[in-house]
Structure 1
């Protein structure tokens, strides 16, 4: 997939009105070293106009008023604590254009061939002396469609929060005077003990060295018909309902475990985060956009997993999710570090499959005035551990798209064959 992208020099977008000049504390989760990184994503809009960059840039400027911490900078105290200095310096915005239409590259349908570096924003020149928390590149195609490349610091927002921010930018672009959901900083309400589920583990249960698995990437589409069938089968078997996430991840975990052919007694783990906002006491307000999630880990034997029915695996996932509220309350109120349930299975083990769910964050609803994106996807680097991103296929397709980097080359064909046989 080759096309030429011509970038402008870029500019700083500051809040359209004056904003508070204060220093804000991040939550215990925000400050974790594993989130001191940038998250990158691409959002493909089939329709737009010659003024799309101007509209989005102006809307960003307006959104940086209620979301003024995004226009600030991360600072470190003498004690090594991270804070946000609300300086009003702004975000970084690049306007770009290409020499082809989105149709000619099939709306970037094959995400494994997308030239990500061309569509993601480059950082400001060193002469600017700034490191923005948010960088955006709007690349216009000859068909007037456009792609937004976004780079955002993970310490300022999780996936749910980032989608909230960009939905607000879309609302300003469509003429709203205020965002529908008012942003809430509220980081002090996140119990510091929630971060210990990550931090204390490294002290008591040191992870093994990070290996080089040379994981191979694949993109798999699960149709809505397949998903509905799996849900109906589960309903007939148990009389209970389950989610799309439950059935898709259960199938993925089973197929992947069969493909890597482990000894029956080998323990395998599934790890995924759950939005913890509503499980806190009191729950966090609707507009909270910081990091707040709880890690769920399910550990079983390989033998059990490859022999279990799909419904039994779905049930195991549902039961683990149902325990989140109780586990959070026990964890927050207790001074004892609890390692029950193998919560601390190393994500670097080849026997551990990590899931990142992008399908339900809300990015698919963002509308800058020309309709929501036809597709969006995270841009992952070279994975050092088995991971799969659960996303959405390009519209008008319905269902789920799995962007996987979870098997070694020797296991890839077997993994793909299990999926082919299940359709």
Structure 2
């Protein structure tokens, strides 16, 4: 995709009116070192009007949303990443234009050729002395749409929280008053551990990071195929399963087959992040937008996975999920007597597959005035961690788009062939 994007220098968009100042304490999960990173996504929309309309509408709506969500206009405290300094500085906002239409670039259906850096906001230069928690770029295309490039500090929001904030901007853009959901800070929901936490597993001095050169691939599964697979599971097990469970099981099993391990019997791991808002006592209130999730790890031998049916792998996942309340509780209580590894520590092995569900976060419901996004595109989080995101097919199609960075080049074709076989009928 060869086209030119012209960007403004970027400015800070502050809250629309004065907001509280001072320090707000982050939660125990917010403070985790693994969350000191940025999540970057592209959100593709139909036009809101003539060129410049989307930028004007969203800038004003963003400013209004930063009144109830004023901590997002602040900064991580210079005294350490345990507090938010509510400075009211604002969100970094970049206006940009492209010299083509969205239709001419296929609405960015082809993820491999997306120029992410052109569509994502650049960070302010050091001499500007600002370090925003949220950066946004609105790139308007000629006549038919715009792309919101978003960079979000993971320390302050998980996916559900980020989507809640974007939906609030959308409501202000459409003139909704009051907001459907009132934001709630409430970051003191977990006590600090009473016992000594397990040590952080640091790599040895001679450790070198793997160089998997993971290949990107989209696997599209129409809604009727998903429905068929779920009905098949219910027929064989007399139980229901979620879309996420059936898709994750399919990918985990078929990725193992594609690796063609032969007689080598490895322990394969599936890791996914479970929302724990309802596991907190008392459950977190509606409107909470911080981090509250826990990584679940399910293990099986490569031999068992290769021989299992998709239905049997779904059962493995469901059985593993029953352990979530206890494992989360053990972690909250800081029970290091179990001598388990830190569940939040990054696992870099090729035997591990991370799968994340995006379809239920709320990104696909955001509406700035002309309907929800055509689709939402995440940027690859890490080139060395095999991962997949369960998202939605671009509108108006219905179904699942499985966005993957989970295999090396020589394993990609076997994976795609096996998935296409099992996901169709």
Q: TM-score, normalised by structure 1?
A: 0.93
Q: CA deviation at 1:209?
A: 4.9
Q: Is 1:252 equivalent to 2:251 in the alignment?
A: yes
Q: Which residue of the partner structure matches residue 292 of structure 2?
A: 292
Q: Is 1:108 equivalent to 2:73 in the alignment?
A: no
Change in CA separation of 1:227 and 1:6 when aligned onto 2, cut-off 3 Å: same
Q: Is 1:65 equivalent to 2:64 in the alignment?
A: no
Q: CA deviation at 1:323?
A: 2.5
**Contact conserved, 1:27 with 1:192, CA < 8 A, in 2?**
no
Q: CA deviation at 1:205?
A: 9.8
**Contact conserved, 1:347 with 1:354, CA < 8 A, in 2?**
no
Q: Is 1:200 equivalent to 2:198 in the alignment?
A: yes
In structure 1, what is the Cα distance between the partners aligned to 2:199 and 2:342?
Answer: 11
Alignment of 1:217-366 (within 5 A): 217-262=216-261, 263=263, 265-333=265-333, 335-338=335-338, 347-366=347-366
In structure 1, what is the Cα distance between the partners aligned to 2:222 and 2:308?
Answer: 23
Q: Is 1:118 equivalent to 2:79 in the alignment?
A: no
Out of 55, 71, 78, the residue aligned to residue 53 of structure 1 is: 55
Q: CA deviation at 1:81?
A: 4.6
In structure 2, what is the Cα distance between the partners aligned to 1:281 and 1:415?
Answer: 42
Partner of 2:406, secondary structure, is strand
Gaps (5+ residues) in structure 1?
none
Partner of 2:188, secondary structure, is helix
Q: Does 368-377 or 334-343 show the bigger shift?
A: 334-343
Q: CA deviation at 1:316?
A: 1.1
Q: Which residue of the partner structure matches residue 143 of structure 1?
A: 143
Considering only aligned residues, what root-mean-square deviation do their CA atoms show, in Å? 2.3
Q: CA deviation at 1:76?
A: 3.4
Q: CA deviation at 1:82?
A: 2.8
In structure 2, what is the Cα distance between the partners aligned to 1:194 and 1:18?
Answer: 39
**Contact conserved, 2:194 with 2:333, CA < 8 A, in 1?**
no
Q: CA deviation at 1:327?
A: 2.9
In structure 2, what is the Cα distance between the partners aligned to 1:413 and 1:41?
Answer: 27
Q: Which residue of the partner structure matches residue 167 of structure 2?
A: 167
Instruction: Report Cα offsets for 1:306-349 as digits up to 9, x if no partner.
Output: 10111110011112223312332344346344357996896201
Q: Is 1:420 equivalent to 2:420 in the alignment?
A: yes
Following TM superposition, where does structure 1 have runs of at least 4 consecutive aligned residues deviating by more than 4 angstroms?
Answer: 193-196, 203-209, 339-346
Partner of 2:397, secondary structure, is coil
In structure 1, what is the Cα distance between the partners aligned to 2:138 and 2:373?
Answer: 13
Change in CA separation of 1:194 and 1:98 when aligned onto 2, cut-off 3 Å: farther
In structure 2, what is the Cα distance between the partners aligned to 1:180 and 1:85?
Answer: 27
Q: Which residue of the partner structure matches residue 94 of structure 1?
A: 94
Q: TM-score, normalised by structure 2?
A: 0.93
Q: CA deviation at 1:190?
A: 2.8
Partner of 1:278, secondary structure, is coil
In structure 2, what is the Cα distance between the partners aligned to 1:43 and 1:364?
Answer: 9
Q: Which residue of the partner structure matches residue 214 of structure 2?
A: 215
Partner of 1:9, secondary structure, is coil
In structure 2, what is the Cα distance between the partners aligned to 1:194 and 1:140?
Answer: 52
Instruction: Report Cα offsets for 1:284-310 as digits up to 9, x if no partner.
Output: 111111111011100011000010111
Change in CA separation of 1:347 and 1:374 when aligned onto 2, cut-off 3 Å: same
Q: CA deviation at 1:4?
A: 1.0
Q: CA deviation at 1:381?
A: 4.6
Q: CA deviation at 1:2?
A: 1.4
**Contact conserved, 1:116 with 1:379, CA < 8 A, in 2?**
yes
Q: CA deviation at 1:399?
A: 1.1
In structure 2, what is the Cα distance between the partners aligned to 1:94 and 1:194?
Answer: 45
Q: CA deviation at 1:108?
A: 0.7
Q: Does 45-54 or 153-162 show the bigger shift?
A: 45-54
In structure 1, what is the Cα distance between the partners aligned to 2:285 and 2:278?
Answer: 8
Change in CA separation of 1:299 and 1:226 when aligned onto 2, cut-off 3 Å: same
**Contact conserved, 1:173 with 1:369, CA < 8 A, in 2?**
yes
Please identify which structure carries the higher helix content: 1
Partner of 2:278, secondary structure, is helix
In structure 2, what is the Cα distance between the partners aligned to 1:298 and 1:377?
Answer: 27
Partner of 1:186, secondary structure, is coil
